[in-house]
A and B are shown apart, each in its own frame.
Chain A
C-alpha cells in the first residue's frame, strides 16, 4: 500500500515537472510578451523593464531560475498586477474557486445519486423519461447558458416580487454561492445521474440482489446495502477528477457572477501573456489535478478492497 502510494506520488511529481516545462516552452514561443502594450516602448524603456523582470537573460537560464524558485515554492510577481505575488493570488483566490467547486460537486453528487437511483427504480416509466430528458439537456447545454439564464430568471423574480431572494452576482455570503454552484454543478449532476442510473440497472439485475430478495430481506435494506452501496462506486471514481475539473473550469461562471475566483486570473493571464501567473496557475492546477486523481485511486482501494490487491 505504502509502496503503491509512493510510486503514484513520484509519478505525480514527474507529471507536474513535465507540465511546467511544456507550459514554459509553449508560453515563450507565442508571439509577443507580457511587456508589450498599446504604447510602443523605446529600446531604453523596454530594456529597463526586461531587466526588472529578468527577461533579458537567456531562455535556458530563465528556465533554471524559474525551476529553482518553483522548488522553493515561489512563483514570482505578476506582470499584469505588478504588486502582487503569484503565491498571494493563488492563496487568495483559489479558496474561492474551491469553495464554489466543492459546493457544486456536493450539489452534483447528491443530485446525481438521487436522480440516478430514482430513474433506475422507475425505469421506462414517466419519472425516468422526464429526468432523462433533463439529463440530456444538462449534458449538452454549456454552463454559460445556464449561468446567463439562471441570472436572468433571478433578476426577473426579484423584480416581480420586489424582494431580493438571492444576490444577482458578487461574493461574500453563502447566498451568493447557491446559484453559481448550482449552475456550475449542473453538467456534472446530469452526467452523474446517467452514470448512477446505468450502474444501478446493472446491479438491480444481478444475482446477489435476486438472492437477497429470495432470502426475504426487507426491501429498504436490499436497496441501501445491496444496490445503492455498490452502484455508487463508479460515481465516487469520477468524483475526484470532477472536483478538480469543476474547481479549475469555473471561469465563465466566475465571470458571469463576478466571483473573485482563480479561474478568472488563469484565463486573463493567458490572454495577457502574464508569464508568472500562467506558470503559477498551470503548475498549481496541474498538481491539484494529479493529486486528486491519486486521492481517488487510494480512496477507491478503501471502498473496494479488491483494488488494493493489484
Chain B
C-alpha cells in the first residue's frame, strides 16, 4: 500500500526536477574542478608521467616498467634484482657479462690473473658522467668502503677472496691491509687470499662497481638516494627519479663504448608488480616488454605476439632439516619422500607456468662445464617415481627411528602463489603415497628465512639464485660452514670436494668435483629438486636486441634498438 504522501506524483516530479538540476550542477562543478586541477598539474608536472608510448621513434626512446622501486642505488649496499637491473644500465664494473653471459672488458681494457695476484688496466678514456676521468682509485675506494664495518654492507662477503678482506670487514684488521691498491690512475692491483678460478666473474658483480670518493663525500650520506646524488659511468645515466612512480635514463655521452648503445633514452614509466596491469599496459602500447603468466599465454599466441623464453637462473628445492632430533635427519625417510613425489608432475600439471623446468639437479641446465654445459658433461642422476620402493624405505626409517608412526612434519613455505600450490602438492602426495601428515606453515618471505635460520621446520620450500657464473655459486650451498645451509646438512666428503673446487684453478678438476658433489647430494637426498625458474615474455614488434639472462643487468636494454619500417 502506498502512503498518501508518496502517491503525490506532482511533488515527486517537482522534487525530481530539482534533483536533476543538482545533479547537473554537481557534474558541471566536478568537470570544472578536473580541468583546473589538470591545468595546475600541467604547470607542476615533471614530465615523467608515462604519457609516452612503448616506442618513441622520434626521440629514439622506449618505455618499460619496474617491478618495484629500486630499494638501493648505492652499488656498495645493493642486494636486490631491481636495483641490480638499473645499476647494470647506469654503472659498469671492471668487467661485464656480454649477451652470451661471457666475461668481456668493461672499465678495464685488459687484465691478468696469475695465482694470487690480479691486475686490472683501466682504459684511458674511462669517464664519469660529469666528465671526470675514472681511475683505479675509484675502485679501491668503493671496495674498501663496502668492506668497512661501519658501512654495514650485506654483500661484503663477496670480497672475502681478497687478502685480509674478511678480517677487515669483521674489524680485526684495518682497511688499509686489504689487498687492493691503485698503483696509478690506470692500474688496479689485487692480492687474493688464495688462487681462485672465477675471480674475473666475481668482479662483474654489482658490489665491485666504482664510486668516486669526492662525489660520495659531497653527498653527505645521501649517495644513491636521488638521480642527482649519483655519478654514473655506465652506458646510461639517470636524469630523473620520481620515487615510486618513474625513473628515466638517457644515453651517457662519456661512456667509453657509446657506439654500442643505440637507444637515446629508457623511460621506466611504471612501477608495479601486478602482472595483469603490466599486460594491460603492454596491450595499450605503453611498455615495450612484458612477462607472461600461464593464463596469459593462450591470448598472447592468438595475438601472434613476439614471444621468447629464458631461464632466470634460480633453482627451487625442498630442503630438509638435518639438525639433531629431527626425523628428517634419517636417510631412509628422505629417500622415501624423494621417491614418493614426481618432479615432472609438479612442474607440468601443478605449477604449469611457462618456461619452468623440473629441477633434476642442484646445478641448473645453463651452467657452463669444461666444454659443453655442465649438465651435458655430468648428467643429473635419474630420479624415478617409485611408490612401492618409497614405502619400503619408509618402513626402514620407522624401524631405525624406533617409531610406529612418523609424527606430522612441519613444511615451511612462503606465501607466494607458486610456493602455496607446491606445498599443497607435496602435502597431498606424501599423504597419499606414504601416509605422512604434513602441516603447512606459510610465512612471509622474511619470516620464512628467520624460521629457517633458527631451525624451526622439518622441511622447507626454498630456493637459490646464483651470484656469479660458476657452478660453485650452487656447489658450496651444502658445505658445512655455509650459513645459507640452513638445514645444517653436514658431510665431510662433500666439504672436501667443495674445498677442491674453491682452491683449484684447473677447470677439469673443478668440474669433476662439482660432478661428485651432484652425485653425493643425490645419494644422500640432501634436498628434493623442485623446479628451475623460467620466464616467457613478449616484446614490442619494433623493439629488438633486448636481452634476458641470468647475470648482469636483467632485463638488459643496453643493446636494444628500435627497428623502423625503412
Which A residues lie at the B interface, using CB under 8 A? 30-42, 44-45, 47-49, 51-53, 80-84, 89, 92-93, 106, 110, 114, 117-118, 121-124, 148, 151-152, 154-155, 158-159, 164, 167-176, 178, 204-205, 209-210, 213, 218-220, 222-224, 227, 255-261, 264-265, 268, 271-273
**B436 close to A (CB within 8 Å):** no
A contact residues around B14 at 8 Å (CB): 218-220, 223
Contact yes or no, A258 B270, CB < 8 A: yes
Q: Which residue of B lies closest to A109 (CB)?
A: B26
For B34, the chain A residues whose CB sits under 8 A away are: 174, 178
Nearest Cβ on chain A to B103's Cβ, whole angstroms: 22
Tell me which of A45, A82, A167, A172 contacts B157 (CB under 8 A): A45
The answer to whether B272 has its CB under 8 Å from any CB of chain A is yes
Count B interface residues, CB 8 Å. 90
Contacting residues, chain B, for A178 (C-beta < 8 A): 34
Q: Which of B45, B243, B447 is close to A84, meaning CB atoms less than 8 Å apart?
A: B243
Contact A40 B69 (CB under 8 A): no
Which A residue's beta carbon lies closest to that of B80? Answer: A37
Question: Can you list, as one digit per residue, whether each of B446-464 has a CB less than 8 Å from chain A (1) or not (0)?
Answer: 1101110110100000000
Contacts of A36 in B (CB 8 A): 446, 449-450, 453
Q: How many Å lie between the Cα of A259 and that of B246 in the bound state?
A: 10
A82 and B151 CA atoms in complex are apart in Å by: 11
List chain B residues, Cβ under 8 A from A53: 152
B272 cross-chain contacts in A, Cβ below 8 A: 169, 255-258
B537 to chain A, nearest CB (A): 18
* Cβ-defined partner of A114 (8 Å) among B8, B15, B26, B242: B26
Task: Say whether B483 faces chain A, with CB atoms less than 8 Å apart.
Answer: yes
Q: Is B534 interfacial (CB 8 A cutoff)?
A: no
A145–B525 alpha-carbon span in the complex (Å):
44
B77, CB-defined interface residue at 8 Å: yes
- Closest residue of chain B to A123 (Cβ to Cβ) is B6
A37 near B79 with CB under 8 A, answer yes
Shortest A127–chain B CB gap in Å is 9
Given contacts A39-B154, A40-B453, A155-B284, contact A93 B244 (CB under 8 A): yes
Q: In the A-B complex, list the 5 residue pairs whose CB atoms are closest, starting with the nearest.
A: A172-B49, A32-B450, A260-B244, A83-B225, A219-B14
Cα of A220 to Cα of B273 in the assembled complex, Å: 51
CB distance from A283 to the nearest CB of B (A): 20
Q: Is the CB of B30 within 8 A of A52?
A: no
- Tell me the nearest residue of chain B to A260, going by C-beta: B244
Complex Cα gap A155–B443 (Å): 36
17 chain-A/chain-B pairs, Cβ below 8 angstroms: A33-B446, A52-B152, A84-B225, A122-B16, A168-B284, A169-B277, A169-B286, A170-B269, A172-B51, A174-B35, A204-B6, A258-B65, A258-B272, A258-B281, A260-B242, A260-B245, A273-B444
Contact call B150/A32, Cβ cutoff below 8 A = no
Residues of the B chain whose Cβ atoms lie less than 8 Å from the Cβ of A30: 447
Contacting residue for A223 out of B15, B283, B286, CB 8 A = B15
Beta-carbon nearest neighbor of B314 in chain A = A38
Chain B residues in 8 Å Cβ range of A260:
242-245, 271
Partner of A48, one of B65, B72, B150: B150
Q: Closest CB-CB distance, B478 to chain A, in whole Å? A: 13
The reply to whether B72 and A82 contact each other, CB–CB distance below 8 Å, is yes
Within 8 Å CB of A227, what residues of B? Answer: 15
A178–B2 CA distance with the chains assembled, in angstroms: 41
The reply to whether the CB of B171 lies closer than 8 angstroms to some CB of chain A is yes
Task: Name the interface residues of B201-252: CB closer than 8 Å to any CB of A.
Answer: 222-225, 229, 242-246
Q: Are A220 and B245 in contact (CB under 8 A)?
A: no
A91 shortest CB reach to chain B, Å: 11
Residues in A whose Cβ lies below 8 Å from that of B446? 32-34, 36, 271-273
Beta-carbon contact of B19 and A223 below 8 Å: yes
Other contacts beyond A155-B283, A219-B11, A222-B11: 20, CB < 8 A: A36-B450, A37-B79, A42-B170, A48-B150, A51-B152, A52-B152, A83-B225, A114-B19, A168-B277, A169-B286, A170-B245, A172-B245, A176-B49, A178-B34, A213-B11, A219-B15, A256-B274, A258-B270, A260-B242, A260-B244
B354 shortest CB reach to chain A, Å: 21
Task: Let me know if B5 and A173 touch, CB within 8 A.
Answer: no
State the CA gap A124–B482 with chains docked (Å): 73
Instruction: For the complex, give the distance between the alpha carbons of A124 and B1 in Å.
Output: 11
Interface residues of A, dominant DSSP: helix
- Convert B1-21 into 0s and 1s, putting 1 for each residue whose CB lies closer than 8 angstroms to a CB of A: 011011010111011111100
- A204 to B11, alpha carbons, bound, how many Å? 11
B385 within 8 Å of A by Cβ? no
- Looking at B23, B35, B454, the one whose CB has the most chain A CB atoms below 10 A away is B23
Is the CB–CB distance between A41 and B38 below 8 Å? no
- CB of B509 closer than 8 Å to a CB of A: no
Chain A residues positioned under 8 Å from B482 (CB to CB)? 40
Residues of B within 8 A of A106 (CB): 30
Q: Are B45 and A173 in contact (CB under 8 A)?
A: yes
Contact check, A114 vs B6: say whether CB atoms are below 8 A apart.
no
Q: Are B22 and A172 in contact (CB under 8 A)?
A: no
Chain A residue numbers with a CB within 8 Å of B449 are 32, 36-38
Q: Nearest B residue to A262 by beta-carbon distance?
A: B244
Specify which chain B residues have a CB less than 8 angstroms from the CB of A259 in the assembled complex: 245
Known: A121-B19, A172-B50. A39 touches B244 (CB 8 A): no
B43 → A minimal CB distance (Å)? 11
B245 touches A271 (CB 8 A): no
Is B276 located at the chain interface by the 8 A CB criterion?
A: yes
Give the docked Cα–Cα distance between A120 and B276 (Å): 39
The answer to whether A159 touches B269, judged by C-beta atoms less than 8 angstroms apart, is: no
CA distance in complex: A258, B286 (Å): 13
CB distance from B406 to the nearest CB of A (A): 26
Among residues of A, the one whose C-beta sits closest to the C-beta of B270 is: A258
Name the interface residues of B63-115: CB closer than 8 Å to any CB of A: 65, 68-69, 71-74, 77, 79
Q: For residue B38, which residue of chain A has the nearest CB?
A: A174
Contact A168 B225, CB 8 Å, known A42-B483, A173-B45: no
Please report the C-alpha to C-alpha distance between residue A114 and residue B74 in the assembled complex, in whole angstroms: 53
- Residue A44 contacts which of B49, B170, B451 (CB distance < 8 angstroms)? B170
Contacts of A264 in B (CB 8 A): 244
Q: Which of B8, B17, B244, B449: most chain A Cβ within 10 A?
A: B244
- Given the contacts A39-B154, A114-B19, A122-B16, A256 and B11 also touching, CB distance less than 8 Å: no
Residues 147-171 (chain B) with a chain A CB within 8 angstroms: 149-157, 169-171
